[in-house]
Amino acid sequence: MRLDLTEDQEFFRATTRKFLESEVPLATVRSLYDTVDGFDRTWWQQAAELGWTSLFVPESLGGGSLSGAPATDAVIVAEEMGRLVSPGPFLAVNVVAAALAWFGSDAQQAQVLAGVLSGESIATWAFAELDGRWDAASVVTTAGLDGDSVVLDGVKAYVEAAGVADWFLVTARTGEGLTQVLVPADAPGVTVTRGRSIDMTRRFGKVALSQVRLPASAIVGKAGTAGPAVERQLHLALALQSAEMVGVAERTLEFTLEYGRERFAFGRPIVSYQALKHRIADMAVTIEGSKAVTDALATAIDTDDPKVALLASVAKAYVGEHCLDIVDDCVQITGGIGVTWEHDVHLYNRRAAVDRAMYGSPEEHKALLATNTEGAA
Amino acid sequence: MTGTTDIESVETFRARSKAWIEANLPLLSEPWVETRELQRLLFDNGYAGISYPKEYGGAGLTIEHQKAFYDIVAEQDRQVPSELMVSIGIIGPTILDNGSQELKQRFLPPLLRGDEVWMQLLSEPRGGSDMAGTTCRLKRDGDTYFLNGSKMWSSGAYHADYGLCLCRSDWDAPKHRGLSTIAVPLQGNPPGLTIERTRAVSGEAGHFCEEFFDDMPLPADNLIGEENAGWSVAQSLLFHERNAVGGIGMGYLGGWRRGGGAGAFTGIDVGPLREAAERRGVGGAVGTMIADAVISSVVDPLTSDRITLGLQLGTHKGHRGSLSKLQSSLSLHGVARAALAIEGAAALVWDGDDVQLDNAGTSWLAARGSTIAGGTSEMQRNTISERLLGLPREPAFDRDIPFNEVLRNLGKF
Ligand SMILES: Cc1cc2nc3c(=O)[nH]c(=O)nc-3n(C[C@H](O)[C@H](O)[C@H](O)COP(=O)(O)OP(=O)(O)OC[C@H]3O[C@@H](n4cnc5c(N)ncnc54)[C@H](O)[C@@H]3O)c2cc1C
């Protein structure tokens, strides 16, 4: 989250935090663990009223950003969600909203965005497949062109909120190129397999597409040319995810320090021991670095900076690695109670581990950085 | 640095700086221009001490202006007198914070003009981390102080004009309350002073020196701050030092961003690592090292920019510079280690009878310098955890007792 927020953004941050604290405190997050969807649809509509789903939607369709820099606005919410490991498909919905706003036809926007805006319908992003990789080369699902139709075949996996989604933005292959298709969940040939993750509230599922035939007007942009569009969506996903991990790491450190100041061993607070203080100092460094690179990524998305791909991979590699390491070390500092259900730190460990893996692991992004200077996608 | 209304806007300053830099500053690829000469050029054109007040020879602008100037310098690969980083980024701001009006008028203009180069006399053979434990003695006799003892690791003392020296003026007071800081002239063989260059790990005559003070007389006017108030001066010095090393605030001087090329995130140059990896065809683990270097080269400057902005906006306070100092010094060490690993045997062995220094092996030998100089990584971690995060301080056995009762090094120190 940028340091130089506008007044509107500052207000948005404050209302978002208040809303999360009062509507989905950690006790609620814990109870959502036992629900199938992991979030409450009425609550999601309240969140939508606060503007969570409107940031990327054009003003002509009732949306609008706070500052003209929607990614910068959106990372504010993502970071706050990280602080309270909040439920809701914020990332997936906004990536699809942005994709339609950036690349969709008027008809597609009209068809999908009104429901997304109000929170009544959920649109989600279906990019990865069974091998769990978020790169173009791994897409084997096909989008065949047949007259005025497009026909989809394949299986999309790791699809967030698949079980409740009304729309899937499916990335498929047409020959050498990529094609994105807007698929209604009830289209013939679509089979959704619901799934869970180690996260308390975040659910992922598989979407099998068997001879799913849709009118060509369901194609977002032009068939076979969606490569750059998909990259841009991935950059946004990584920005939102990095911001969430910043919130996860910072909040985990905060409550670990509160605990460590009050917990005594050998007559002194445990966090007075240098062995712990020095690790905590290193965490403060990487949290500051994580914030800096996340902000830079969001700004790069908003300004179409040519360095955006590099920043996206650097952000994921850096924040993804350090966030989980911080949470992990906070478990160690917390001691035995840190590996119980009762203590909250596992809620953060769950989210950090899932975030680390989704949309490309730090290792995968490092592999990109090692061989080319461009980074993600 | 307030009253932004009557100050030139950053935009117009940027435009005029850009034109001036293009027309006047030599490129990095051009022959090296002598530091003092280059500084004089900046001074004569109003670009020395951009965020220093006008009355002391500065441009009277803000850190934002300073940042704009040095960003253009970095973008355009221009030379700046980066050897003056200590004078302008550390000592000058410390004198500004602590000196009397007369002292500032005496020392700051020649410092900004490049006529008087400064360095720090803090560490001693006895130790560097425990700076306040200095055992250099300062004793007053009338209008003159006399200095006894020795300092060590003093970077550039052999060619500097002045050293800012931390010493003990009261041995009966507790550790931090008996300290003073004083300007020590170093050139022209002043009486009572011997300077020896230390041989560096490369085997060459070192950049650092050891000084021996034997009843060295110093005018009382050279005292910076009050007698026995040296600890607060030292703390402000450490603050500016961390900032300068981290490229923050008044320490945003371009030196550390050097050589990045237009638009690049600079500081660390990953190019040679990639070239070596390609040459030698080593994959796997090496790729991770290169990626880590890329990550540092992007994240470190963004982090110091964020802290600079935070200090400006007031969202960040105090000791944030330690975050950047710790981060960037660890990165530099990491890159030296990566170079050693990637270049392999060829970095360590060469043909012929001459010693060669320009190789990853020799750089490796000095790589810990960054995590030791300017306060070790451990000391930065103490500062971050105690001052920034407010965690309990380390127990100490030397507080609140007269310093002459404190336990000190055993044996030969
Ligand atoms: C390249 C370079 C340039 C330098 N330039 C200058 C200069 O211009 N002027 C100047 O005055 N000095 C300079 N120094 C000296 C530098 O500041 C000291 O080396 C440094 O402060 C450490 O002091 P020391 O070497 O005496 O190590 P010590 O203080 O003896 O420390 C030894 C080890 O103990 C650790 N340690 C000490 N105290 C603690 C603690 N409380 N908690 C945890 N660990 C601790 C240290 O981290 C270190 O690992 C320079 C050093 C280098 C390498």
DSSP notation for B92-103: HHHHHHH--HHH
Q: Indicate whether A142 and A116 sit together in one domain.
A: no
Whether A366 and chain B come into contact, CB under 8 Å, resolves to: yes
A1 is a domain residue? no
Please report which helix (H) or strand (E) contains residue B333, including its range: helix B321-343
Same domain, B47 and B157: no
A334-343, B201-210, B259-268, B340-349, range with greatest mean pLDDT: A334-343
A35 lies in some domain: yes
Is ligand 1 within 6 A of the CB of residue B129?
A: yes
Residue A30 in domain: yes
Sign of torsion over alpha carbons B391, B397, B399, B403: negative
In a domain, B140, yes or no: yes
C-alpha distance from A284 to closest chain B C-alpha (Å): 7
Give the model's pLDDT for residue B304.
Answer: 87
Residues B43 and B144 in one domain: no
Do A3 and B380 lie within an 8 Å CB cutoff? no
- Return the pLDDT at A371: 84
The CA distance from B171 to A15, in Å, is 57
Q: Single out the residue in B188, B209, B228 at which a domain terminates.
A: B228
Q: Does B130 lie in the same domain as B100?
A: no
Q: Identify whether residues B277 and B152 lie together within a single domain.
A: no
ipTM surpassing 0.85:
yes
| Token code pair at residue B221 | 């006017």
Neighbours of B305 (CB within 10 A): 20
Q: What is the pLDDT averaged over residues A185-210?
A: 98
The per-residue pLDDT for B254 is 63
Residues 279-338 of A with CB under 8 A from B: 280-282, 284-285, 288-289, 291-293, 295-296, 307, 310-311, 314, 317-318
What is the arithmetic mean of pLDDT over A78-95? 98
Closest-lying ligand 1 atom to the alpha carbon of residue B130: 29
Residue B407 lies in a domain: no
How far apart are the CA of B73 and the centre of ligand 1, in A? 32
Q: Is residue B210 domain-shared with residue B291, that is, in the same domain?
A: no
Based on the fold, state whether residues A252 and A284 are members of the same structural domain. Answer: yes
Tell me the average pLDDT across A148-166: 98
Does pLDDT of B6 surpass 90?
no
Amino acid (one-letter) located at A103: F
Q: Using the 3D structure, point to which of A161, A195, A220 is the last residue of a domain.
A: A220
B77 in a structural domain: yes
Q: How far is CA B248 from CA A161, B253, B268, B320, B328, in A?
A: 44, 9, 17, 9, 12
Q: What is the pLDDT of residue A313?
A: 97
Q: Which residue of B has its CA nearest to A279?
A: B381
Same domain? A93 vs A164: no
CATH of the domain at A42: 1.10.540.10
Q: What is the pLDDT of residue A373?
A: 62
pLDDT band at B311 (very low <50, low <70, confident <90, very high): confident
Contact B126, B408 (CB under 8 A): yes
Mean pLDDT of A257-278: 97
User: What is the rounded radius of gyration, in angstroms, for the C-alpha atoms of chain B?
Assistant: 22
Contacts of B369 (CB under 8 A, 6+ apart): none
pLDDT for residue A375? 60
From ligand 1's centre to the CA of B371, what distance in Å? 9
**Tokens representing residue A259 in the block:** 């605990």
Residue of A268, A280, A311 lying closest to B385 (CB–CB): A280
Angle made by CA atoms B404, B406, B411, in degrees to the nearest 5: 100
Helix (H, G, I), strand (E, B) or coil at B183: strand
Do A238 and A371 reside in the same domain of the chain?
Answer: yes
Give the range of the structural domain holding residue A293, as residue numbers without chain letter. 227-376
In this structure, is residue B87 part of a structural domain?
A: no
Count of CB atoms situated within 10 Å of the CB of B201: 14
Specify whether B137 is located in the same domain as B56.
Answer: no
Domain shared by A27 and A149, yes or no: no
CA A311/CA A297 separation, integer angstroms = 6
Collapsing DSSP to helix, strand or coil, B202 comes out as: coil
Mean pLDDT (whole number) for A230-259: 98
Residue to substitute in B87, B120, B129 for testing ligand 1 pocket (most ligand atoms within 8 angstroms of CB): B129
Overall average pLDDT of the A46-68 stretch? 94
Ligand 1 center to B125 CA (angstroms): 10
- Range(s) of the domain holding residue B48: 10-81+92-113
Instruction: Quote the CA–CA distance of B147 and B184 in Å, as a whole number.
Output: 9
Cα dist from A194 to A19, A37, A164, A218, B61, whole Å: 28, 9, 9, 24, 61
Shared-domain flag, residues B31 and B76: yes
- Mean pLDDT, range B238-264, rounded to an integer: 63
* Residue A299 and residue A198 share a domain: no
- Contacting residues of B for A256, CB less than 8 Å apart: none
Residue B369, ligand 1, Cβ within 6 A: yes
Interval A270-278 mean pLDDT: 98
In contact, A56 and A98? CB cutoff 8 Å: yes
With beta carbons under 8 A apart, name residues in chain A contacting B287.
366-367, 370-371
Calpha distance A53→A256 (Å, rounded)? 32
DSSP of A261-291: HH-EETTEEGGGSHHHHHHHHHHHHHHHHHH
**Distance between CA A287 and CA A326 in Å, rounded?**
9
Higher pLDDT, B406 or A91: A91
| Pairing outcome for strands B144-155 and B223-224 | unpaired
User: Is the domain of B150 the same as that of B270?
Assistant: no
Say whether pLDDT at B262 is over 60: no
Which two structure tokens, joined as six digits, stand for B182? 């004083």
The residue of chain B nearest to residue A374, with distances taken between CA atoms, is B294
Residue B218 parent element (H or E) = strand B205-219
Indicate if the pLDDT at residue A198 is higher than 90. Answer: yes
Examine the domain organization and report whether A173 and A243 are in the same domain.
Answer: no
Which residues from chain B sit within 8 angstroms of residue A262, using beta carbons?
none
Average pLDDT, rounded, for chain B: 90
B409 in a structural domain? no
The reply to whether B106 and B163 lie within a common domain is no
| d(CA B11, nearest CA chain A) in Å | 18
Q: Which tokens belong to B371?
A: 């995590």
Under an 8 A CB cutoff, do A271 and B392 touch? yes
CATH number at residue A201: 2.40.110.10
> Model pTM?
0.91
For B143-178, letters b (16+ CB in 10 Å) and e give: eebbbbbbbbbbbbbbebbbbbbbbbbbeeebbbbb
Q: Helices A274-303 and A227-262 meet at what angle, rounded to 10?
A: 150
Whether residues A41 and A176 share a domain: the answer is no
3-state secondary structure of A323: helix
Q: What is the CATH number of the domain that holds A287?
A: 1.20.140.10
- Decide the pairing of beta strands A142-146 and B179-185: unpaired
B198 lines ligand 1 (CB under 6 A): no
> Both B364 and B277 in a single domain?
yes
Kindly give the residue spans of alpha helices, DSSP state H, lying in chain A: 7-23, 26-32, 41-49, 70-83, 90-103, 106-118, 227-262, 274-303, 308-334, 345-357, 362-371
B104, B92 Cβ separation under 8 angstroms: no
Tell me: do A197 and A328 sit in the same domain.
no
Catalogue the long-range contacts made by B184-190 (C-beta closer than 8 Å, 24 or more residues apart). Answer: B184/B121, B184/B147, B184/B213, B184/B216, B184/B218, B184/B222, B185/B161, B185/B218, B186/B119, B186/B157, B186/B158, B186/B160, B186/B161, B186/B162, B186/B211, B187/B160, B187/B161, B190/B216
| Model pLDDT for residues B174-204, shown as the tens digit of each residue | 999 999 999 999 999 999 999 999 998 989 8
Answer yes or no: is A281 within a domain: yes
Closest residue (by CA) to atom 37 of ligand 1? B129
In terms of domains, do A69 and A38 share one? yes
User: Does residue A208 sit in the same domain as residue A273?
Assistant: no
Is the Cα dihedral A305, A307, A311, A313 positive or negative?
A: positive
Domain of B55: which CATH number?
Answer: 1.10.540.10
pLDDT of amino acid A376 = 54
Query: How many domains does chain B fold into?
Result: 3
Name residue B181's amino acid. T
Angle at which helices A90-103 and A70-83 cross, to 10°: 170
With beta carbons less than 8 A apart as the criterion, state whether B175 and B132 touch.
yes
What dihedral do alpha carbons A108, A109, A111, A117 form, nearest 10°?
150
Cβ B310 under 6 angstroms from ligand 1: no
Domain boundary among A82, A102, A121: A121
- B163 in ligand 1 pocket by Cβ < 6 Å? no
What does the pLDDT look like over A277-329, one tens digit per residue?
Answer: 999 999 999 999 999 999 999 999 999 999 999 999 999 999 999 999 999 99
Contact list in B for residue A269 (CB cut-off 8 A) is 392
Report the range of poorest mean pLDDT among A26-30, A122-126, B66-70.
B66-70
Residues 6+ apart with CB under 8 A from B19: none
The answer, for B288 touching chain A at a CB cutoff of 8 Å, is yes
Atom of ligand 1 nearest to the CA of B122: 11
Angle (CA) A211 A216 A221, round 5°? 115
Residue B4 lies in a domain: no
Q: What's the pLDDT band for B259 if we cut at 50, 70, 90?
A: very low
- Average pLDDT (B360-366) is 93
Ligand 1, from B126, B201, B204, B376: best to mutate by most atoms within 8 Å of Cβ? Answer: B376
Residue B392 predicted with pLDDT over 60: yes
**A221 min Cα distance to partner chain B (Å):** 32
A2: in domain: no
Task: Establish if B398 belongs to a structural domain.
Answer: no
Would you state the pLDDT for residue B407?
80
Confidence band for B83, pLDDT divided at 50, 70 and 90: confident
Residue of B148, B149, B93 lying closest to B126 (CA atoms): B149
Cα B136 from Cα A345, distance rounded (Å):
50
* pLDDT band for position B372 (cuts 50, 70, 90): very high
For residue A333, the SS3 value is: helix
Percent of chain A with pLDDT over 70: 99
Q: Which residues contact B338 (CB under 8 A, 6 or more apart)?
A: B273, B289, B290, B292, B293
Residue B387, pLDDT > 60, answer yes
CATH classification at residue B356: 1.20.140.10
State the Cα angle at A129 between A125 and A135, rounded to 5°. Answer: 80
> Are residues B384 and B272 part of one domain?
yes
> What's the burial of B26, exposed, middle or buried (CB within 10 Å: 0-12/13-18/19+)?
middle
Q: Cβ distance A239 to A301 under 8 Å?
A: yes
> Mean pLDDT for chain A?
96
Q: Are residues B339 and B246 in the same domain?
A: yes
CB B373 less than 6 A from any atom of ligand 1: yes
pLDDT-based confidence at B261, cuts 50/70/90? very low
DSSP label at residue B402: B
Higher pLDDT, B407 or A246: A246
Residues A366, A260: one domain?
A: yes
Which are the contacts of B263, defined by CB distance < 8 A and separation ≥ 6? A307, B75
Q: Is B211 exposed, middle or buried (0-12, 13-18, 19+ CB in 10 A)?
A: buried
Condensed to tens digits (0 to 9), the pLDDT of residues A12-53 reads: 999 999 999 999 999 999 999 999 999 999 999 999 999 999
How many domains, chain A?
3
Please answer whether residues B165 and B184 qualify as being in contact, where contact means their C-beta atoms are separated by less than 8 angstroms: yes
B222 in any annotated domain: yes
In this predicted structure, the answer to whether residue A176 has a pLDDT above a threshold of 60 is yes
Give the pLDDT band (50/70/90) at residue B267.
low
Q: Which of A64, A88, A121 is the last residue of a domain?
A: A121
3-state helix/strand/coil string of B266-327: CCCCCHHHHHHHHHHCCCCHHHHHHHHHHHHHHHHHHHHHHHHHHHHHCCCCHHHHHHHHHH
> pLDDT value at position A374?
59
pLDDT of residue B187: 96
With bands split at pLDDT 50, 70 and 90, how would you rate the model's confidence at B412? low
The residue to which tokens 């009355």 are assigned: B55
pLDDT class of B211 with cuts at 50, 70, 90: very high
Residue B48 near residue B42 (C-beta atoms within 8 A)? yes
Three-state SS annotation for A67-131: CCCHHHHHHHHHHHHHHCCCCCCHHHHHHHHHHHHHHCCHHHHHHHHHHHHHCCCCEEEECCCCC
pLDDT band (50, 70, 90) for residue B3: very low
Is the pLDDT at B74 greater than 90? The verdict is no
